[in-house]
Homo-oligomer: A and B are copies of this chain.
Amino acid sequence: MTPKLARFIDSGVLATPAIVIDLDRIAANFGALREALPDAAIYYAVKANPAAPVLDRLLGLGSRFDAASIEEIRACLAVGAAPSAISFGNTVKKSSAIAEAFASGVDLFAFDSDEELAKIAAAAPGAKVYCRLAVSQDGADWPLSRKFGTTGAHARDLLITARDLGLIPHGVSFHVGSQQTGVGAYQTAIGQAAMVFSDLRARGIDLRLLNLGGGFPTRYRDDIPAIGTFGDAIMTSVRAHFGNDLPDLLIEPGRAVVADAGVAVTEVVLACTRREDSDRRWVYLDIGRFGGLAETEGEAIKYAITAPGLTGPDAPAILAGPSCDGVDVMYRDTPYHLPASLKSGDRILIHDTGAYVTSYASQGFNGFLPPQEHYL
């Protein structure tokens, strides 16, 4: 937690649950990514945290934007982003959304199927398109499954079709999975992408864009490689496959930009011992899986959790949300320890919750409102 966040949380009465974000940390993270990959254009993945203060700060730093929906594109335009600085990165889009984006000046679109390509050709004639490859996501804590992406051979055929439909076959993208902690997935994927480039060059199509996607990790409870490690591995791999004819590189970081800039301030609703789990207390917080901590599904993302101001020995805890829903349990299998003195009304901090929290929050499950958001 940054000193600015700590001061704000300590300074007064804050209604819980709340998410507090340090915009300076976002700027620092953006700078570190730019330094690690100076040859890549940074398209911030808006879905990680779409709040206007975040978009505004990043715009001022020269960020571009990867949008998942027309609503996110509107949010980027609203803070003053140039349409040419926006990529419509969801491979699944309504035709009406494609048309509105194109009319607004956005001209870079993702796809991974014949059907989507036909929609883009109809709604955004002449636009630049890139095809998403399905690649290995080994090493990712929040993998993206087979929902997106296609094979290299199909991508090659699709990009030829794109040209025949009057679109500009601009490049290839992939996504190695979110919270990806290894560099190997990038290296393999870059090799797959390079084959599509060379296959198409042989057919008279010069692709320009290699979209390396997002997935760059943040530090939760476990150490992760420094961002420079990813940058070095990616550039070594790109040079090995592309030589001196480097493509335009693009990255779509979301989590790595905003996650560690945020902290959730929550209150213990109840801490109690249940006879069936007598070795561990149940600790119920006023935020849970449906209040924004959706990535605790399957205990995938393991947030660092602290109880500021409490001293004394720790005791093991099961952590649950406040709703009547039985699946609203964050951590039962993952060991967590909190002060044994913890009781109802105590304050709990859930760290590194700047990404993929506020936007997931339900609009009112069990009557609980989404966490309040504070941007400093």
- In the assembly, what is the distance between CA of A259 and CA of B114, in Å? 37
Q: Which of A95, A145, A274, A358 has the most CB of B within 10 A?
A: A274
Q: Are B269 and A94 closer than 8 Å at their CB atoms?
A: yes
B324–A68 CB distance below 8 A? yes
A267 contacts which chain B residues (CB < 8 A)?
94
Do the beta carbons of A343 and B290 come within 8 Å of each other?
no
* A329 B147 Cβ-Cβ under 8 A: yes
Interface positions of A from 251 to 284, Cβ below 8 Å from B = 267, 269-277, 282, 284
* In the bound complex, CA of A358 to CA of B362 (Å): 9
Which residues of chain B are within 8 angstroms of A358 by Cβ–Cβ distance?
363
Contact yes or no, B115 A272, CB < 8 A: yes
Bound CA–CA A367/B51 (angstroms): 10
A367-B114 Cα distance, complex, nearest whole Å: 25
* Interface check A89, CB cutoff 8 A: yes
Flag if A151 contacts B275 (CB, 8 Å): yes
Q: List residues of chain B with CB within 8 A of the CB of A119.
A: 270, 344
A146 lies within 8 A of B327 (CB): no
Q: Which of A54-100 contact B (CB under 8 A)?
A: 67-72, 75, 89-95
Q: Does A354 contact B (CB under 8 A)?
A: no
Q: Which residue in B325, B328, B362, B368 is a CB contact (below 8 Å) of A69?
A: B368
From known contacts A274-B150, A326-B145, infer whether A90 and B363 are also in contact, taking CB-CB under 8 Å: no
Chain A stretch 146-162: residues in CB contact (< 8 A) with chain B: 146-148, 150-151, 154
User: Of B115, B147, B320, which contacts A320 at CB under 8 A?
Assistant: B147
> Residues 125-166 of chain A: 1 if any B CB is under 8 Å from the residue's CB, otherwise 0?
000000000100000001111111011001000000000000
CB contact under 8 A between A326 and B144, given known A69-B366, A270-B92, A363-B370:
yes
CB of A322 closer than 8 Å to a CB of B: yes
A37 at the interface (CB under 8 A from B): no
A71 and B343 CA atoms in complex are apart in Å by: 23
Chain A contacts with B in 91-122, Cβ cutoff 8 A: 91-95, 113-116, 119
Residues of A near any B CB (own CB < 8 A): 46-47, 50, 67-72, 75, 89-95, 113-116, 119, 134, 142-148, 150-151, 154, 177, 267, 269-277, 282, 284, 286, 290, 294, 297, 320, 322-329, 343-345, 358-370
| With A47-B324, A67-B367 already in contact, 16 other A-B pairs whose C-beta atoms are closer than 8 Å | A50-B364, A68-B323, A68-B366, A71-B368, A72-B366, A90-B323, A92-B269, A94-B269, A94-B344, A95-B345, A115-B272, A145-B329, A146-B274, A148-B326, A150-B274, A151-B275
CA distance A86 to B59 in the complex (A): 50
- Bound complex: CA A148 to CA B272 (Å): 11
Closest chain B residue, CB of each to CB of A149: B274
Question: Cα distance A267–B97 when bound, in Å?
Answer: 13
A62 to chain B, nearest CB (A): 23
Cβ-defined partner of A343 (8 Å) among B115, B154, B323, B369: B115
Minimum Cβ distance to chain B for residue A372 (Å): 12
The answer to whether residues A115 and B344 also contact, given A275-B154, A324-B89 and a CB cut-off of 8 A, is yes
